[in-house]
């Protein structure tokens, strides 16, 4: 039961746990490598996503591609998904019971992929991590939540309706580049330290337990 991303995709395609399945053409489980270090979480499929079964392929997706390039990321290296996997009719907000019914899929995707950084796109995925805060107060700021980092961004579609948000989003995504470097260097330091620790343990073992073996080499 949900041992890998493929199983989640299969379950999502057959899911009838909320009303959204009535009007879906294709479910949109999300896509990207199962070991992606960065995960983007949007709101829900729109018209084109519902047709194609892929996330962020419409207008908002075009802008997301531009934002990804500003942060030095290639789409195929990140995992992109949504809080709800089926299109809310007419692109209305997802309802609490729909978010609740779908959360087990997103939670398991996060567990399996285990990304270092989660980037939320819009209010609904932000609320999952930050609770009831104002996006205007926290956008673009990376926080550590539990074992990983989370950054809340405005939804790319918001900039299509409010042009002033375009430069805010471009700005926030250019900060993402710095955050990624920061997290990478933290990981490298951890790896160096754990290698040091392992070699100390090995040396000690040889010293203590096998003095005669040592002389063989």
Residue number with CB closer to ligand URA (144 or 161)? 161
Tokens of 115: 């990304």
55 forms part of the interface with ligand URA (CB under 6 A): yes
45 forms part of the interface with ligand URA (CB under 6 A): yes
Residue range at the interface with ligand URA (CB under 6 A); choices 40-48, 159-167, 189-197, 209-217 = 40-48
> Which of 124, 194, 148 lies closest to 36, judged by CA?
148
Residue range at the interface with ligand URA (CB under 6 A); choices 45-53, 107-115, 169-177, 182-190 = 45-53
Residue range at the interface with ligand URA (CB under 6 A); choices 3-11, 39-47, 95-103, 180-188 = 39-47
Cα distance between residue 81 and residue 113, in whole Å: 12
Cα distance between residue 119 and residue 122, in whole Å: 10
> Do the strands 142-145 and 79-82 form a parallel or antiparallel pair, or are they unpaired?
unpaired
**Residue of 56, 79, 105, 154 that binds ligand URA (CB under 6 A):** 56
Cα distance between residue 119 and residue 109, in whole Å: 14
Cα distance between residue 78 and residue 40, in whole Å: 7
Residue number with CB closer to ligand URA (73 or 183)? 73
32 forms part of the interface with ligand URA (CB under 6 A): no
60 forms part of the interface with ligand URA (CB under 6 A): yes
What is the smallest separation between the CB atom of 157 and ligand URA, expressed in angstroms?
6
Instruction: List, in order, residues 6 or more apart from 26 with CB less than 8 Å away.
Output: 13, 49, 50, 51, 52, 53
172 forms part of the interface with ligand URA (CB under 6 A): no
Say how many residues touch ligand URA, by CB under 6 A: 13
- By the 8 A CB rule, do 155 and 60 touch? yes
Residue nearest to ligand URA (CB): 42
Q: Which positions from 136 to 165 touch ligand URA by CB under 6 A, shown as an x/- string? A: ---------------------x--------
**Residue of 9, 15, 40, 42 that binds ligand URA (CB under 6 A):** 42
Cα distance between residue 198 and residue 175, in whole Å: 35
Please report which residue ranges of the chain form alpha helices under DSSP H: 5-14, 47-52, 59-70, 96-113, 123-130, 135-138, 156-161, 164-209, 211-216
- Write out the residues near ligand URA by the rule CB under 6 A: 28, 42-46, 49, 55-56, 60-61, 82, 157
């Amino acid at each position: 039961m949900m041992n890998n991303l493929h199983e989640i995709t299969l379950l999502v395609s057959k899911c009838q746990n909320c009303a959204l399945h009535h009007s879906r053409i294709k479910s949109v489980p999300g896509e990207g490598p199962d070991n992606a270090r960065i995960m983007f979480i949007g709101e829900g499929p729109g018209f084109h996503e519902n047709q194609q079964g892929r996330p962020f392929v419409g207008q908002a997706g075009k802008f997301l591609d531009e934002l990804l390039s500003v942060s030095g990321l290639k789409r195929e290296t990140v995992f992109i998904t949504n809080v709800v996997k089926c299109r809310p009719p007419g692109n209305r907000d997802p309802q609490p019971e729909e978010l609740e019914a779908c959360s087990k899929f997103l939670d398991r995707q996060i567990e399996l992929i285990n990304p270092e950084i989660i980037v939320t796109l819009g209010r609904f995925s932000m609320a999952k991590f930050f609770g009831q805060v104002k996006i205007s107060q926290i956008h673009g700021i990376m926080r550590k939540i539990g074992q990983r980092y989370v950054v809340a961004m405005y939804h790319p579609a918001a900039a299509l309706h409010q042009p002033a948000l375009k430069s805010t989003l471009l700005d926030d995504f250019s900060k993402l580049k710095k955050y990624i470097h920061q997290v990478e260097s933290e990981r490298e330091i951890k790896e160096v330290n754990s290698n040091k620790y392992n070699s100390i343990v090995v040396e000690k073992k040889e010293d203590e337990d096998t003095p005669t073996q040592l002389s063989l080499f």
